[in-house]
Chains A and B, each alone.
Chain A
Amino acid sequence: MEKKRIYYIIQIAIFIITAFIITEKDSNGMDNNILERMSQELEAAKSPEELQEIWRKYLGKKGELKILLKSIAAMSDAEKSVQSPAIQAAHKKALDLFAQKEKSLNQAEAGKKLLSQAEPLRLQKAKIGHLHPITQTIRMLNQTFTEMGYSIMDGPEIETEEYCFRRLNVPSDHPARDMQDTIYIQEPNILLRTQTSSIEAHVLEDYAPPFKVVCPGRVYRNEKVNKSNHFIFHHYQGIVVMEKTSLKDLFGTIEYLFKKIYGPEVKIRFRNKYYPEVEPGVGPDMQCFNCQGSGCAVCKGVGWIEMGGAGMIHPNVMKMAGLDTKKWKGFAFGLGLDRWVMAKYNITDIRTLLGGNLGYKYYKNESTL
C-alpha cells in the first residue's frame, strides 16, 4: 500500500510538473500567438467594420480569447493556478489594445468628418461703412462741447431776412450786408441762410436763458464754384447766455477747444475784429503750424491763421430777442469747417467735400474716438 501511494504521488508530481511545463509553454505560446495575431490585425485595420471583425474573432462570444477565458472554468485547480493569470492578462492586454485602436480609428473618423464639414478661409474682405469727414469733424467738436454741458441745435436753411440779418444787428442798408452775398428764394425776404448766426437768433427767441448751445450747420453764399470757392459752407457756431460772462470766458472756451484739437502747445491770439452781431468783436487766430509765426505761404506771410469770429453778443441782438441786457450777457463764436476738414484729410479741391470725388477705402476706417 505504501509503495502504491508513493508511486501515485510521484506520478502526480511528474504530471504536475509536466502539466505546468506544457501549460506554461502552451498557454504562453498559445496566448502570445493569439495576442500577436490580434495585434497585427489591429495594426492593419483601417475601418470600424474591420475593427468589429477583429472583436468578433478574438473578443466576441466565440472569439479565441473569449474561449480561452471560458476554458479557465473547466481547468483543475492546479491548472488554473498556473494558466489563469496568463490567460486573464492576455485578455486584458487584448482589450487594451482594442480600445487603443478603436480610439485612434474614431479620432481619424472624426477628423475626416470635421474636414468634410470644414469651410475654407476666404480672403475676400467685407466692406465697411464710413462717416463723411465733415460729420466726423462736427462729432469731434460736439463731443468737446457736450462734455462742457452744451446742447446741439439746428435751424431752417430757408430763412427770412429777419432772422438772417435784422435780428443780428444788420438792417437792410447796413454795410455789413456786403460781407455776405445772399442767394434769394424770394427777394428781399426769403433767402438761403448765409450764416449759422440765424440759428442763434432763433435760439435767443425760443429758449429762456441760461443756456449753452452749439449749432453746426450748412450756410450759403452767392459765389461761383471753383477749386477753392464754393457757395455752400459748413459753420460751427456757439452761443452762451448767462447772467455773468465775459470776454475772459469766451477766450477760455476757444483756447480750450483749440488745445483739445491741436494739443497743449498751440498758440492762440485774440484780436479785435468787427462783426455786426457782437460787441466787442473778436478774431481768434492760431499761430501758423507750418512756420511757427515767422511767415510762410500757408499763412500768407502773416504768421497766424484766422480761425473764425467771436465776441460778446451785441445788446441790439439781445434786445430784439426780448432779453434784458442788464440781466443777461452772452458770447458767441463761429468757425468755418470746410478748410479745416480739407487740411486734415488732404483734400485739395473744395468741391470734393460735397459729392463727386470723395471716396472711401473699402476696408479702412478712421475712428474719432
Chain B
Amino acid sequence: MKALYSQFKELIPGLKAGAKQIGEAMTLTGFMMDSLEEVVYKGKKDYLMGFEVRQNRGDCFSAIGLAREAAAFYGLKTQAPKAKPIKQGKEKLKIKIESKETVKRVLAVKIDGLENKESPAWLKEYLKFYGLNSINLLVDLSNYVMMLTGYPSHLIDFKKTDGQLSWALNSEFNSITTLFGTTVALSKKEELIIKDGEKIIALAGLVGGKDAAIDMDSDSIIAEVAVYNGAIIRKNSRSLNIVTEAGHRLEKGLDSEGAEYAMNLLVSLILEHAKGKVSSEVFSFYPKKQSSRTIKFEPGMAGDIAGVEIPEKEILKIFKNLNFKAEKIGKNISVKVPSYRLDVAMPEDLAEEVARIYGYDKIPGTQPPKLKVTPKITPKNIILAEKIRDILTSLAFDEILSWPLTPAGLNEQINYRNWNKAVTQNSMNELFPELRQSMAAGLLNQLKEYSKKNVEFIDIFEIGKVFGEKNGKYSENDSLGIMSVSNKKTFNEFKNKTENLLRLIGLDGINYFEPSAKPAIANPASCWRIASGKNQIGIIYKLVPQENSENIYFAEINIAKTVEILSKPSAGSTVELNQKLIPLDANIELDISESIFEYLEEAKKKIGKNRLWSIDVTDAYKTEDKIKYTIRASYQEITDQEAKKIHLEAFNLNPNQQI
C-alpha cells in the first residue's frame, strides 16, 4: 500500500518526522517500507512511500489506516478529511439483500443532476501513483476515497438499470462483461452478484459490469459502499480469477462501522466536484452492528512476552496512542479496542501491540539464551539418513535432490510396490502431476542430464520420500535410491557397494530373492529384492538399456524399515583373535529352486556363531537344473582338526573330499 508523505503530514497535524524516518518507524512496527520514491504532487516535491501491509491489517490498506499507525508511534492524533453527513432526499431506493449471510453492511444513495467530466489534474496525478488510470471524475472520486479510507465503493448508472437492485448468490447468469470489457464465465456456484430485475450489474465486491458502468453522460447514479463476509469475496476472486483493488480490501475483512465515513466522504466529494443532489434516503442494511471489543489485560504480560520490563505507564500511553480506551481496574487494565482493529481479540494481541510500539529494538538479543536442557528426541531415521550420506560419499557417490513429482507414465515404469499413485489435482506444473513411487524417478532424470553434459562418473544417490495410496490412505516412506552407470558390466561391484553400505550401518544376514513384482524398467533377469534376514528392505536391479547407457544399476532401500531392524540388538563384529583363522572350502550342489541364502543360514546355525569368522560364496556355476557353489568358511579360535570336523558336518561333505 502506498501513501504520499504529504498525506501523512495532512492526516497527522504536528508530524515533524521526514519520510525516511516515518518509513523506518513503520518498518519496525509491522509495516515494512519497501519503496521510497521522490515525486512531484500538486507541483510540489513529495515522496511516495510503499509499505508492506500484512493480511491481518485490512484497516491499513488506506492512507488513513497507515497514518493512524504512524501517529501511534509518534504519540500524535490523526485528523481525517471532513465528511459532512448526507442530507437525504425523499425517494426510497428499491434495494433487496437476498444473500444476508454474505453481506455485513450496505449503504446506498441516489444522486441526480450530476455533471460527470474529466478529472482535475491533482486527482489524475494521485491515482497514477497507485497505478490507476483516470476514467472519469465520478469513477476517479470513488477510487480516491478507496485509497484514502480503505473502503471500496461502487457507482451504478441508475438510468441503465430498471431501478431495482438486489444482492444475491448467482443462479441465473452464465457470464458478465465487466467494465474493463472482459467477459467472465460464471458457474452459478456461490458467486455474489448485484443485479436488477433483468440483468447482472456487478460481481459484488470485485468489479462492476459494463451494462451499468458510469460514463461521461451519467447524470443519475446509485453510490453504494458495502462490507462483505471476506470469505465469499476471496472465494469468488480465486474461482473467477479476478483480482481488483476492491476485492483485495474486502476479502481481508473490513470494519462495518467505517463504511459510513467512507460513504459520507464519497458523497461530499461527488457533490463538491460533480454537482448534483442526493435524491433518495440513505439505504442501510446493517443487521449486526460491529461492536468494539473489551479485553481484560494483565500489564505484566507484555513484559513476560517481551522478556524486558515495560512500565505500566508506558503501556497505558501506548494504548492511548493506538486509540484504545484503557481503564485501570484493580491490577488489570480494561482495554476497549476500536472496531477497525479486527485483528485484536485477546490479551496476547494487546501484548503484541505494546511490544511493537514500545519497540523490538529495545529488547536485547545479543546473548544466546540459557534455555533448559531438554531430552533428545531426534528420530532414528534422521540419524540413520546422515550416516548413510557419509558412507555413500566416502564410496564416491554424489548426492542429488530431485522433484518428487513425475511425468505421467513414469510411475508405471518404476513402481514395484502394491499401492496406487498419489496424484495432484491442481498443480500448475501440469506435466508433472504424480508423486513418485520410487526414488528411481529423480535419479533417472539426473542421469539423463549428466549424460547430456558429458559427466563421466555417474554414481549418485538421493534420500527422500516415495508416495502412494492404498484403500484411501496416503502414505510416504523415507527411502534411499542409489544409481550407478558404467561402461562395462559391473553389477556385482554395485551390489557389493550397496551391501557394504548396509553392513556398515549395522545390518547383517543380507540376502536376495526373486521379487513377486518387478518394475517394468528392470531387466527381469537381473532384479532381486534385498532382505536382512527375513526382513525385506529394498530392491536392486539392472535397468533395461536407456538412451545413453546399457549398464545402469539401481538400488532402493526403505529407511524406516531399516531403522526398525536396527533397533533390535545384533551380534557384534569385534573379536579378540588368539589363534590363526582357518579357511576351508566346500563344494556343494543345490537345485535351481533352492535358496543358497537359506542353505548358508542353516550352515551358520550348525557351525555356531562363536566359531564362525566368515562365510561367503566364492564361486557359482550353473548347470541345466542345478547350481554348484564353492563356499569359503573361515573358522576362529579352534584347532585345525576341530575346524575340519565342523566343516565336514556343516556342509555334509565326504571326509575324503579335499577342503
Please tell me if the beta carbons of A356 and B365 are within 8 angstroms of each other in the complex.
no
Interface 9-residue window, one of A53-61, A123-131, A342-350: A123-131
**Which A residues are CB-close (under 8 A) to B428?**
222-224, 231
Name the residue of chain B whose CB is nearest to the CB of A142: B386
In chain A between 235 and 283, which residues have their CB closer than 8 angstroms to a CB of chain B? 240, 242-243, 245-256, 268-274, 276, 279-283
**Which A residues are CB-close (under 8 A) to B304?**
246, 329
**Which A residues are CB-close (under 8 A) to B393?**
128-131
Given contact pairs A178-B55, A247-B355, A256-B368, A272 touches B30 in the complex (Cβ within 8 A): yes
B34 on the interface (CB 8 Å rule)? yes
Please tell me if the beta carbons of A252 and B389 are within 8 angstroms of each other in the complex.
no
Please tell me if the beta carbons of A176 and B55 are within 8 angstroms of each other in the complex.
yes
Please tell me if the beta carbons of B356 and A312 are within 8 angstroms of each other in the complex.
no
Please tell me if the beta carbons of B363 and A251 are within 8 angstroms of each other in the complex.
yes
A358 on the interface (CB 8 Å rule)? yes
Please tell me if the beta carbons of B394 and A129 are within 8 angstroms of each other in the complex.
yes
Interface 9-residue window, one of A10-18, A29-37, A109-117, A153-161: A153-161
B246-269 interface mask toward A, CB cutoff 8 Å, 1 = contact, 0 = none? 000001110000000000000000
Given contact pairs A184-B425, A271-B30, A355 touches B361 in the complex (Cβ within 8 A): no
Complex Cα–Cα for A255 and B343 (A): 29
Complex Cα–Cα for A213 and B54 (A): 28
Residue with the highest number of chain A CB atoms closer than 10 Å, among B351, B365, B367, B423: B365
Please tell me if the beta carbons of A356 and B449 are within 8 angstroms of each other in the complex.
yes
Given contact pairs A126-B396, A173-B230, A185 touches B423 in the complex (Cβ within 8 A): yes
Please tell me if the beta carbons of B374 and A225 are within 8 angstroms of each other in the complex.
no
In chain A between 205 and 225, which residues have their CB closer than 8 angstroms to a CB of chain B? 207, 210-213, 218, 222-225
In chain B between 449 and 466, which residues have their CB closer than 8 angstroms to a CB of chain A? 449-450, 453, 455-457, 459, 465
A21 on the interface (CB 8 Å rule)? no
Interface 9-residue window, one of B5-13, B273-281, B400-408: B400-408
Please tell me if the beta carbons of B372 and A356 are within 8 angstroms of each other in the complex.
no
Please tell me if the beta carbons of A128 and B396 are within 8 angstroms of each other in the complex.
yes
Please tell me if the beta carbons of A272 and B352 are within 8 angstroms of each other in the complex.
yes
Complex Cα–Cα for A158 and B590 (A): 47
B382 on the interface (CB 8 Å rule)? yes
Complex Cα–Cα for A223 and B429 (A): 8
Name the residue of chain A whose CB is nearest to the CB of B383: A152
**Which A residues are CB-close (under 8 A) to B426?**
183-184, 187, 222
B340–chain A nearest beta-carbon distance, Å = 16
Partner of B402, one of A174, A247, A355: A355
Partner of B377, one of A139, A151, A273: A151
Please tell me if the beta carbons of A185 and B476 are within 8 angstroms of each other in the complex.
no
Partner of B360, one of A177, A186, A247: A247
Please tell me if the beta carbons of B427 and A231 are within 8 angstroms of each other in the complex.
yes
Complex Cα–Cα for A207 and B375 (A): 10
B474 on the interface (CB 8 Å rule)? yes
Complex Cα–Cα for A223 and B432 (A): 13
A76 on the interface (CB 8 Å rule)? no
Complex Cα–Cα for A185 and B404 (A): 13
**Which A residues are CB-close (under 8 A) to B424?**
183-185, 192
**Which B residues are CB-close (under 8 A) to A7?**
none
Given contact pairs A135-B399, A153-B378, A231-B428, A158 touches B366 in the complex (Cβ within 8 A): no
Please tell me if the beta carbons of A175 and B234 are within 8 angstroms of each other in the complex.
yes
**Which A residues are CB-close (under 8 A) to B361?**
269-270
In chain B between 324 and 379, which residues have their CB closer than 8 angstroms to a CB of chain A? 343, 346, 348-349, 351-352, 355-356, 360-361, 363-369, 371-379
B79 on the interface (CB 8 Å rule)? no
Please tell me if the beta carbons of B374 and A211 are within 8 angstroms of each other in the complex.
yes
Please tell me if the beta carbons of A358 and B455 are within 8 angstroms of each other in the complex.
no
A353 on the interface (CB 8 Å rule)? yes
B181–chain A nearest beta-carbon distance, Å = 27
A160–chain B nearest beta-carbon distance, Å = 9
B592 on the interface (CB 8 Å rule)? no
B18–chain A nearest beta-carbon distance, Å = 16
Given contact pairs A131-B393, A355-B446, A252 touches B369 in the complex (Cβ within 8 A): yes
Complex Cα–Cα for A242 and B404 (A): 36
Given contact pairs A158-B467, A362-B456, A222 touches B427 in the complex (Cβ within 8 A): yes
A134 on the interface (CB 8 Å rule)? yes
B519 on the interface (CB 8 Å rule)? no
A360 on the interface (CB 8 Å rule)? yes
**Which B residues are CB-close (under 8 A) to A223?**
428
A302 on the interface (CB 8 Å rule)? yes
A357 on the interface (CB 8 Å rule)? yes
Name the residue of chain B whose CB is nearest to the CB of A253: B369
**Which A residues are CB-close (under 8 A) to B429?**
224-225, 231
Please tell me if the beta carbons of B425 and A187 are within 8 angstroms of each other in the complex.
yes
Please tell me if the beta carbons of A247 and B55 are within 8 angstroms of each other in the complex.
no
B103 on the interface (CB 8 Å rule)? no
Partner of A280, one of B305, B374, B456: B305
Please tell me if the beta carbons of A247 and B378 are within 8 angstroms of each other in the complex.
no
Complex Cα–Cα for A224 and B426 (A): 12
Please tell me if the beta carbons of B32 and A271 are within 8 angstroms of each other in the complex.
yes
Please tell me if the beta carbons of A185 and B30 are within 8 angstroms of each other in the complex.
no
Name the residue of chain B whose CB is nearest to the CB of A225: B429
**Which B residues are CB-close (under 8 A) to A156?**
476
Name the residue of chain B whose CB is nearest to the CB of A213: B377
Please tell me if the beta carbons of B32 and A153 are within 8 angstroms of each other in the complex.
no
A341–chain B nearest beta-carbon distance, Å = 11
Top 4 nearest A-B pairs (CB, nearest first) are: A251-B365, A248-B307, A246-B307, A129-B393
10 further interface pairs, Cβ-Cβ under 8 Å (given A131-B399, A269-B361, A357-B449): A134-B401, A153-B378, A173-B234, A184-B424, A242-B371, A246-B305, A249-B371, A253-B368, A270-B361, A359-B455
Between-chain CB contacts (< 8 Å), 20 pairs: A127-B396, A130-B399, A135-B401, A151-B374, A175-B230, A175-B234, A175-B253, A183-B426, A210-B374, A222-B427, A247-B307, A247-B355, A248-B369, A270-B363, A280-B352, A281-B30, A281-B352, A355-B403, A355-B442, A359-B453
B residues with CB within 8 A of A:
27-30, 32-36, 54-58, 229-231, 234, 251-253, 304-308, 343, 346, 348-349, 351-352, 355-356, 360-361, 363-369, 371-379, 381-382, 386, 389, 392-404, 422-429, 435, 442, 445-446, 449-450, 453, 455-457, 459, 465, 467, 474-476
A residues with CB within 8 A of B:
126-132, 134-135, 139, 148-149, 151-154, 156-158, 172-179, 183-187, 190, 192, 207, 210-213, 218, 222-225, 231-232, 240, 242-243, 245-256, 268-274, 276, 279-283, 300-302, 312, 314-315, 329, 353-360, 362
